[in-house]
Amino acid sequence: MNNIIMSKVLNILKKLLFSYLLFLVVMSLFRIVFFNYFSPLNSIDGFYLDILNAFFLGFRIDLTVIGYIQVLPTLGLILFYYIKKEFLLELFSKFLVYYLFVCFLIVSISLGADFGFYSYFKDHINILFFGLFDDDTKALMITFWQNYNVVLILTIFCIYLISLFLIIKKIFTIKNKNYNSFFGLRISGLIFLILFILNFLVIRGTLGMYPLGKMIPNVSTNEFINKVSHNGFRAFTNALNAREKYLSRKYDLFKATGYEKNIEKAFEVYKGSSNINKEDLLKNITYKTKKIDDKEYNVVVIMVESFGMPILKYQSEEFNILGRLKKHFDEDTLFTNFISAGDGTISSLQALLLNITHRPKSFAFSQSIYKQTSFSYTPAFLYNKAGYETTFIYGGDLTWRNLGNFVKFQGYKNIEGKINIFEHLNNKTKPKDEYFHPWGIYDEYLMSHIFNKLETSKQKQFIVALTTNNHPPYNVPKDYKRNSLVFNDNIKNHITGDLDLAKQRFSSYAYAVDQVGAFLDKFKESKFKDNTIVAITADNNTIDGIMKYDENELLNSKNIPLYFYIPKSLKEKLQINTNVAGSHKDIFPTLYNLTLKDKEYVAIGKNLFDKNEKHYGFNGSMIVNHNEKIEKLENLEDKTSSELLNYYKANLAIVEYLIKSEYEKANK
């Protein structure tokens, strides 16, 4: 062993170790901040050991990140030792200062991004994260600027980075000592073999079957405590891996659900029978409508941004979150056991538009190989054939997620965005910019536009609309008279995170749903109340990101309303149970049976007014509800004895089969 060269190698290793210990402390402090900021726990009594285990597991996961960072130094030290040039080791030592700083910078940014992502989605970075880059960049920047003290955050971050760099540099100026051995070992090959093995084990994080970070064990019965262990950088790399697999078309839902070579079995599970049509599998999800009257109806479907259900339990005169919508919720049909198909707007919207279950970890259809595929079984095609004028209205820019181009292929005759809405407004008395917020046009104008389309129509109308208002940075019009939103102690005790930001969110929420109420007020005073069916729902419950619940957290986290206005003469003929479970896949099968006479349709979902059907809600976080039961599948590949979860997996396989069948048909 060359003692001088090895001594220099061991000194560099020591400095690397000190630097890593410093950064591990930083990551642990970050985890403490994360816990304190997001914790929904009223008390940690009974959870002390779980919390300690979560932090220890988190430390181990952080250590795997250090292991990856150490790969280059390990290989470099081995290489330069055998080259036996001291000056190269000196240069490598100087290089490592900058190398470590850049690595720590990248990890720090990922931790900060994960913090922001969690504040909105109540989950660590996942494949939805990459969708943010497909959103309106300018609107995102405005959102950050208005919702956060960007100058203060950047100032603190810069101070942190400068301090981090100076400390690393200081560590690498520590005077070298003369080392003759490595814990008594003097054989260089053996020393480097041990170093290499240790590096590998640190990366793996465990001697178990699955590397830590890829498979993170639960340490508690409390979901939040389990999430504390996770690391934003590892979450990002896992999401990136999922994205790359999808983009390279390695997204195999058949294999993941266990139906890779046996799709017929999925249809048997769906039907609850082995007696299925094996010659034409799609016939097993093909139905004929059972309309109960001969009257023709307009159909209006409105998806309201972030219209979560749980906050409505606090409705009162002082906390008037529903505004003018309350009386309509009281008077008409409201399903309360309903969950969103996805956790993001695009995932739930495409589930609604394509009448399917959202596929976990999938990308938006409008930004995938399916972006120009016409799914011929979907609602607009059916309503076109039935003599309707079909319109899709979005309160934002149609370029968002390539949405306008995608919808064009789904049978809608009219596709309108915020500019189209603005151009059709009457009495534009305000400056133009007062009609818009960063993500689109204010909801009151979208609602007015829908009503005007009904008034000026010359044929039956089928309208699907998506609002934009209840979205960061939570703007409301200057001239809007706000309802009372007094936060009592009970509400405050159920809010996590920044209370001032929560107040902004609820103010925007209240405005958005109040405008739906105003639309229904006007609608019910018109002739359309007798010949129009209105369905109103949400895309997701993003309020979940700042709320904690006293019970049934799994349902509440995904719970959204589904409201129907049905003309009195028709409603009296229906048998309605508003407690049945459901999700976005069920909306159009329900509407088909109310409005289309003896028409065949393809659907995964069920008619919510059919008491003879079993009703299920599916969410892309692999959550299933049925009657009073709700269950979650942790990993799609996991085998389970749960009837609910196996039914869900079969549905996903059928959805994939349907999508691929349509894609192949469209590309023949």
The per-residue pLDDT of the chain, averaged, comes to: 90
Domain 289-632 indexed as CATH 1.10.8.60: no
Beta carbons of 535 and 301 less than 8 angstroms apart: yes
What the block records as the tokens of 118 is: 């969690």
For residue range 1-20, list pLDDT tens digits in order.
Answer: 567 788 788 888 999 999 99
d(CA 364, CA 463): 22
What residues have CB less than 8 Å from 176, skipping those under 6 apart?
A: 7, 8, 11
Identify the weakest region by mean pLDDT among 263-277, 417-431, 451-465: 417-431
Identify the weakest region by mean pLDDT among 55-64, 202-211, 503-512, 609-618: 202-211
Q: What is the pLDDT of residue 334?
A: 98
Q: What is the pLDDT of residue 132?
A: 60
Q: Give the residue with greater pLDDT, 102 vs 200.
A: 102
Q: Which residues pair with 319 in a beta bridge?
A: 485
Beta carbons of 124 and 114 less than 8 angstroms apart: yes
Torsions phi, psi for 582 (to 5 deg): -175, 175
For residue range 505-541, list pLDDT tens digits in order.
Answer: 999 999 999 999 999 999 999 999 999 999 999 999 9
Q: What is the pLDDT of residue 136?
A: 56
Ranges of each domain in the chain: 3-247, 251-288+645-668, 289-632
At 251, is the pLDDT very low, low, confident or very high (cuts 50, 70, 90)?
A: confident
- The residue assigned the tokens 């080791």 is 89
Q: What is the pLDDT of residue 31?
A: 93
Rounded average pLDDT over 413-418 = 94
What residues have CB less than 8 Å from 449, skipping those under 6 apart?
A: 393, 416, 421, 424, 425
For residue range 205-226, list pLDDT tens digits in order.
Answer: 777 655 776 667 777 877 788 8
Q: Give the residue with greater pLDDT, 145 vs 480.
A: 480
Distances (CA, A) of 126 to 203, 233, 633: 21, 11, 16
Rounded average pLDDT over 539-552 = 86
Q: Give the residue with greater pLDDT, 312 vs 470.
A: 312
What the block records as the tokens of 665 is: 């048909």
At 291, is the pLDDT very low, low, confident or very high (cuts 50, 70, 90)?
A: very high
Rounded average pLDDT over 188-195 = 79
At 238, is the pLDDT very low, low, confident or very high (cuts 50, 70, 90)?
A: confident
Query: What is the three-state SS of 132-181?
Result: HHHCCHHHHHHHHHHHCCHHHHHHHHHHHHHHHHHHHHHHCCCCCCCCCC
Rounded average pLDDT over 636-663 = 95
Q: What is the pLDDT of residue 86?
A: 81
d(CA 608, CA 597): 17
Q: Is the pLDDT of residue 197 over 90?
A: no
The closest alpha carbon to 377, from 352, 409, 355, 348, belongs to 355
For residue range 324-344, list pLDDT tens digits in order.
Answer: 999 999 999 999 999 999 998
d(CA 515, CA 468): 12
Rounded average pLDDT over 435-440 = 90
Q: Helix 3-38 vs helix 48-83: angle between axes, to the nearest 10 degrees?
A: 150
Q: Give the residue with greater pLDDT, 272 vs 43.
A: 272
Beta carbons of 393 and 446 less than 8 angstroms apart: yes
Sign of the CA dihedral with 348 first, then 351, 357, and 358 last: negative
At 407, is the pLDDT very low, low, confident or very high (cuts 50, 70, 90)?
A: very high
Q: Give the residue with greater pLDDT, 633 vs 43.
A: 633
Q: Is the pLDDT of residue 120 over 80?
A: no
Q: What is the pTM of this model?
A: 0.77
Task: Give, in degrees to the nearest 5, the angle at Cα 165 between 150 and 161.
Answer: 5
Task: Name the pairing type of β-strands 286-288 and 600-602.
Answer: antiparallel
Beta carbons of 359 and 253 less than 8 angstroms apart: yes
To which H or E segment does residue 600 belong? strand 600-602
Which range has the top average pLDDT, 26-35, 170-179, 218-227? 26-35
